[in-house]
Amino acid sequence: MIGFKSTLLNVTLAITATIPLATAGLFSFAGSAQAAALSGEIQFSGGFTLSPFASSQITFSKDALSFTPQPITPIGIGSTTGNFSAFNSGNIGNIISFSSKVADNPFIDFGYLAIPGIISPGGDTSSITDGLNTFTLTSSSYKLNQSGLNVGIDVALFGYFTSATGEKSNGGGNLTFQVNNKSVASVNSILSSGSSISNLSFSGGTFTTSVPEPAALLGLGAVGGVMAMSRRRKSFVQ
């Protein structure tokens, strides 16, 4: 009877010791997976190219947004959360068609410049044109809003982020800009005629809406704990 109680006590202690270890392994694994995916928020605005000097701007038509200068339209990142803190700049592409949901993807390529959002003569722009750490646009739409004597345009962005290691996370965001001294009706009239509105400054933000779920990892951690306890019980029997 004493031997049985001793064995039972040892099994209980083994189970108790195994659970924290399995849990620690689970969270370590989950943390590693989450760290590889881009997660958090970014606020940005148009940047500048210094030679020749040009500010990043939008040309807005009924079915498209195009950005200048080309081939690189720099953006400066003002604030970040999560692991987006590694970036201070980016290169933004064009929305070729709202109706057919076609974009110049990756829509944003995040990276780092010596001065946030500013391309200086001879400056290294490889990190914002390398196709790593990107936001791919899958759909977008816009709304016109009267704000005093101006028209505010809000462009909704939907897509996903891809990290340098290939991990994907769902995301979204928006672009905002305005047309001064116009009404919504007059802006709609310009767009409907096939004309466009140029030289528009912009700002915006993107954020992740979901990252790799740890639920599947939970199952792996539980299985690992059961296996460890099973091996422990077998040693008692022997």
What's the pLDDT at 212?
Answer: 56
Residue 101 backbone class (left: φ over 0; alpha: ψ -120 to 50; beta: rest): left
pTM above 0.85, yes or no: no
Who wins on pLDDT, 238 or 154?
154
Given a contact cutoff of 8 angstroms between Cβ atoms, the answer to whether 147 and 101 are in contact is no
What's the pLDDT at 36?
Answer: 83
CA dist 5 → 1, 8, 9, 10, 238 (Å): 6, 5, 6, 9, 16
What's the pLDDT at 208?
Answer: 97
Q: Dig out the tokens for 11 from the structure.
A: 């099994």
Given a contact cutoff of 8 angstroms between Cβ atoms, the answer to whether 126 and 140 are in contact is no
Sequence-distant (6+) residues with CB within 8 A of 197 are: 59, 60, 61, 179, 187, 190, 191
Q: What is the pLDDT of residues 50-73, one digit of tens each?
A: 999 999 999 999 999 999 999 999
20 pLDDT above the threshold of 50:
no
What's the pLDDT at 213?
Answer: 54
Q: What is the pLDDT of residues 138-174, one digit of tens each?
A: 999 999 999 999 999 999 999 999 999 999 999 999 9
237 pLDDT above the threshold of 90:
no
| Nearest one of 99, 100, 105, 89 to 160, comparing CA atoms | 105
